[in-house]
Amino acid sequence: ACECLFHMPTLLLHPVFVALLKICVFLTCVGGLLLLVSCGNMESTAVTLGEHTVAGVGRSFQFTDEEKCFLVYYIFGLMWIMELLNALSLFTVSYAVCLWYYSAWDDKSGEKRAPLFPVLRGVFNALFFHFGSMAFGAFMLALLKGIRIILLLMSRAAKNDNNRMVACLLDACQCCMACVEGGVAFVSRNAYIEVAINSKPYCQAAREAYEFMVAEAGEVIVLSGATFLIQAFGCLGICAAGGLMTYEVVTTQERYTSDLSPHYVGEPEFVAAVAAFMCFSISIVFMDILDQCAETLLFVYATSAKDGTADYHLSDTMRSLVNHPAPKVVEQARNMMMTAPAGQVAPSSSAYGLLNWRTS
């Protein structure tokens, strides 16, 4: 997965653009929600103290049933849009990884050629060929999340009425819905990989992704555990390094320790904690890209191994990882390049050219 990321550096910038897009879309939708809330009637409460009445102590919005339906519809649409952006991001990463895996070999270096504009090509294919699958998967997650929020509100209302039995039942239902939501999110994440590989609709892709995870449960569990450990240690390491470096700077530099400085920091622990939290938030986004790359490579390797084309697509790193011997055509190409005179490379009709023809 790291080899794939280093061959396509634009994937490292992908989380930044996705985060900026989500922030812009979210703020725009929140602005529209505030305008919709302002359509309600504002009512103020008054308090009588002796002979004096003080008005405007409290204010609240009162909505009609129609306006309440508008609010519910708008909030659900907001959640749907945010889940759709997540789906587009996951599909784009998976599509770029598929492009790299199936890319041709370079006659000169003997390595895989980095695909051109993989992120842009992934976005184009997602918007023009698979947008319906992305929207359907996002709809399912938004619906489950909306049901869980409704159960949470009902549970709070039951607790305010001291109805503990109903509150307990609603909390149990909320936990069940959270488990279902997590399962659907995991299957959807892998379904988008199947859509990127075989261009299948969402429901069929989700079913085949689930069947693959059941059939290859051992490999999926090992990969999930390994990527989780890498994510955990990576995020904690970056978080700790950022917090310690910030604390070292704000406690040793006179600019931040002097009482006379306009940049004086009176609470260095708080500043270091904020810096550590920011580092953790940023690192977890990039670690998620690494996780998606690893899962996509597992799926695409299993697909190519099933149809017998894995020999012509595996990189040297993946080949050594899965103990897959190189085909004779690859060994022939390497021998030709190693025995070629200085300054001379294998021609396009060499074994690597044959390998690219076999790949296509």
134: CB partners within 8 A, 6+ apart: 84, 87, 88, 91, 126, 192, 202
Residue (of 35, 31, 55, 30) closest to 43 by Cα position: 55
DSSP per residue, 20-78: HHHHHHHHHHHHHHHHHHTTSEEEEEEEEETTEEEEEEEEEEE--HHHHHHHHHHHHHH
Backbone dihedral angles phi then psi of residue 147, each to the nearest 5 degrees: -60, -40
Task: Bin 323: left if φ > 0, else alpha if -120 < ψ < 50, else beta.
Answer: left
pLDDT at 182: 87
User: What whole-number distance in Å separates Cα of residue 85 and Cα of residue 25?
Assistant: 9
> What is the pLDDT averaged over residues 253-270?
85
Span 23-53, pLDDT tens digits:
999 999 999 999 998 888 887 777 777 667 7
- By three-state DSSP, how is residue 108 classified? coil
pTM recorded for the entire structure: 0.79
How long a stretch of residues is the chain?
Answer: 360
User: What whole-number distance in Å separates Cα of residue 119 and Cα of residue 15?
Assistant: 11
Residue 357 predicted with pLDDT over 60:
no
Number of Cβ within 10 Å of residue 166's Cβ equals 14
Q: Which two tokens stand for residue 98?
A: 């598929």
User: What whole-number distance in Å separates Cα of residue 102 and Cα of residue 302?
Assistant: 13
CB-based contact 336:351 (threshold 8 Å):
yes
CB-based contact 174:154 (threshold 8 Å):
no
Helix axes 131-160, 65-101, angle to 10 degrees: 140
> What is the pLDDT averaged over residues 265-275?
89
Residue 230 predicted with pLDDT over 60:
yes
151: CB partners within 8 A, 6+ apart: 170, 173, 174, 177
Backbone dihedral angles phi then psi of residue 111, each to the nearest 5 degrees: -110, 170
pLDDT at 15: 85
Residue 355 predicted with pLDDT over 60:
no
Number of Cβ within 10 Å of residue 4's Cβ equals 25
User: What whole-number distance in Å separates Cα of residue 196 and Cα of residue 293?
Assistant: 12
User: Which helix (H) or strand (E) element contains residue 143?
Assistant: helix 131-160
Residue 349 predicted with pLDDT over 60:
no
Residue 268 predicted with pLDDT over 70:
yes
Span 62-72, pLDDT tens digits:
888 888 899 99
Span 179-207, pLDDT tens digits:
888 888 888 888 999 898 888 899 999 89
pLDDT at 171: 87
User: What whole-number distance in Å separates Cα of residue 177 and Cα of residue 151?
Assistant: 9
pLDDT at 353: 44
Residue 359 predicted with pLDDT over 50:
no
Backbone dihedral angles phi then psi of residue 18, each to the nearest 5 degrees: -65, -40
